[in-house]
Amino acid sequence: MRDCLKSLAVLSCVALLPVACKVVKTPDPEAASAVAQTDEARMAVYAADIWDAKVLPMAKESAVPLQELKAEIAANGLDAVGNAYGLRPEGEANPWNFVSSGEGVIIEANTQSRAAKLAVDIDGNGAADLVVQLGPVVRGTALRDAMPFIIFSDFRDQIEFAKLARALNDLASQSVTLPEGDLVGRRVEFEGVYTLRNAGDAIELVPTKLQVH
Amino acid sequence: MKLNRRHFMSGVTATAVLPLARPAFAAEKGLMAIITPSHDNPFFKAEAVGAEARAIDLGYETLIMVHDDDPNKQSELFDTAIARGVNAIILDNAGADATVAAVQRAKDAGIPSFLIDREIKESGIAISQIVSNNYQGAQLGAEEFVRLMGEAGNYVELVGREADTNAGIRSSGYHDIIDQYPDLVMVAQQSANWSQTEGYEKMETILQANPDIKGVICGNDTMAMGAWAALETAGRTDVIVVGFDGSNDVRDSILAGGIKATVLQPAFRQAQIAVEQADQFLTVGSTGQNEKQLMDCVLITAENAAKLETFALSA
């Protein structure tokens, strides 16, 4: 009887061995998302997975110089320009998202607020042509909605989908590094995504690239 | 499946239990069932009215039913719809989990479902799920709330019914904004189940325990109306109340200087789009859209409230 128990114990140890091995396996993205339980954590992992591999290349590829885009909207209207350069999910009420790049002078910098912002003048007339959202509070879902490979139907529900938008905004905010000192008057190069509901609306760009000189 | 449906149909016709089983004027394109929560909430009434008007325009007969947020009742209504051999079901559902089986049953009977307002937890069963961009809308409402609060003070959150995804998503959108402001302190968070009466009762109790509140943010307009009524009764019209839906009741309160803001869900148009997609699906076999679709919401304040009528904003 004792022998029998002993051999059983040995057997079960042997049986457990491969399981134990699995736990110490080198982590891969799949294992990471399996560990991450909440929507928030899972979407943060997914956002990090696609950020360098897909989001940044897509932004770079779709970027149109901001002044060019503004001129075209003034000439041909938002929908025409949206059809040519815009990105948006299918569906009637979805506004256009655009990716734009450019260079200008910082005329206002609010870096104290939780919703930190830079106002940038491109054409040198002293008025802001766009606002760059620095976060950590970033408005909207432009970054998510501009990515054609992100499709709402692939997600469980709006909660999961919203957490993805938040995770992408967080990555945009985290990837910004600002130099010390007063930013007003300095030149800035930018590339980023924004939503435009109406032709005349203020541009609130979520940066995918930002370089203050 | 087809056989099954015809069988049910003939059963109904033979016994003639349902008064509308044999309409005097047979609609050319068939019958659409429009199933929503109770019309007591004007939001759901607007959906039903919007969907019905569009369906009749497009040549359908309609069967309007309410499930009162009861999944069992909803299940019975689906049986009725299947038995009546409807061509399509337009649905604002009674629970993200509980509804999956009912929609699947309709699908198995060859009847496509087009969901509005609320999602279900699975895709690939309904043809369309058209919902408001609740997260985007909640962020708009929260930003306005933060501004009205001056970025500081104690506040209360009234959340909706837990089984409804929209309750969670709006709360999540609110907190993604509000929690970034450390001087805004939530002293109470309770569910009032989307209900005006419960909103009133919960607000009354919360106010007794926390007289020092400055604001109340609500997951929908009916709860906001209830909370506002309780605050008025207690002589606390200084408290900032923000809702969500864009109902005519809250519009009137905003214009009268009561509730401060709400977020419009384009419910009327949303219901119409669902009917249009159903019609397209029945006529050409595809809606040409992804199953899940989001519609953006609009912030309503004293500035634009006058343009709001029955969940639609005039230009």
Q: What is the mean pLDDT of chain A?
A: 84
Q: What is the pTM of this model?
A: 0.76
Q: Residue A35: what pLDDT?
A: 54
Q: Are strands B240-242 and B215-218 parallel, antiparallel or unpaired?
A: parallel
Q: Residue A61: what pLDDT?
A: 93
Per-residue pLDDT band at A140 (split at 50, 70, 90): confident
Q: Residue A93: what pLDDT?
A: 63
Q: What is the pLDDT of residues A45-104, one digit of tens each?
A: 999 999 999 999 999 999 999 999 999 999 999 999 998 999 887 766 678 999 999 999
Residues of A within 8 A of B147 (CB-CB) are none
**pLDDT exceeds cutoff 90 at A17:** no
Residues of B within 8 A of A168 (CB-CB) are none
Higher pLDDT, B249 or A181: B249
A95 at the B interface (CB within 8 A)?
yes
Per-residue pLDDT band at A181 (split at 50, 70, 90): confident
The values of phi and psi at residue B243, to 5°, are: -115, -165
The CATH architecture that domain B134-264 belongs to is 3-Layer(aba) Sandwich (3.40)
Q: Residue B13: what pLDDT?
A: 38
- Which residues 149-208 in chain A show a CB within 8 A of chain B? 151-159, 161-163, 165-166, 197
Catalogue all structural domains in chain A, each as residue range(s) with its CATH number: 36-212 (2.40.50.420)
Contacts of B72 (CB under 8 A, 6+ apart): none
Closest B-chain CA to A156: B121
Subunit contact A93:B269, Cβ cutoff 8 A: yes
* Numbered ranges of CATH 3.40.50.2300 in chain B: 3-131+267-294, 134-264
- Chain B residues at the A interface, defined by Cβ less than 8 Å, are 96, 119, 121, 123, 130-131, 133-136, 139, 143, 165-166, 168-169, 172-173, 176-177, 180-181, 266, 269, 273, 289-296
Per-residue pLDDT band at A9 (split at 50, 70, 90): very low
Closest B-chain CA to A89: B293
Contacts of A160 (CB under 8 A, 6+ apart): A39, A42, A43
A148 at the B interface (CB within 8 A)?
no
Which ranges of chain B have pLDDT less than 70? Answer: 1-27
Q: Residue B5: what pLDDT?
A: 41
Residues of A within 8 A of B181 (CB-CB) are 114
Q: Residue A112: what pLDDT?
A: 84
For chain B, the DSSP string reads -HHHHHHHHHHHHHHT-SGGGS-SS--SS-EEEEEES-TTSHHHHHHHHHHHHHHHHTT-EEEEEE-TT-HHHHHHHHHHHHHTT-SEEEE--S-TTTHHHHHHHHHHTT--EEEESS--S-SSSSSEEEEE-HHHHHHHHHHHHHHHHTT-EEEEEEE--TTSHHHHHHHHHHHHHHTT-TTEEEEEEEE-TT-HHHHHHHHHHHHHH-TT--EEEESSHHHHHHHHHHHHHTT-TTSEEE-SB--HHHHHHHHTTSS-BEEE--HHHHHHHHHHHHHHHHHHS--SS-SEEEE--EEE-TTTGGGEETTEE--
Please tell me the distance from the alpha carbon of residue B168 to that of residue B158, in angstroms, as a whole number.
11
Structure tokens at A29: 């993205």
Per-residue pLDDT band at A146 (split at 50, 70, 90): very high
Q: What is the pLDDT of residues B74-107, one digit of tens each?
A: 999 999 999 999 999 999 999 989 999 999 999 9
Q: Residue B83: what pLDDT?
A: 97
CATH class of this structure's domain B3-131+267-294: alpha beta
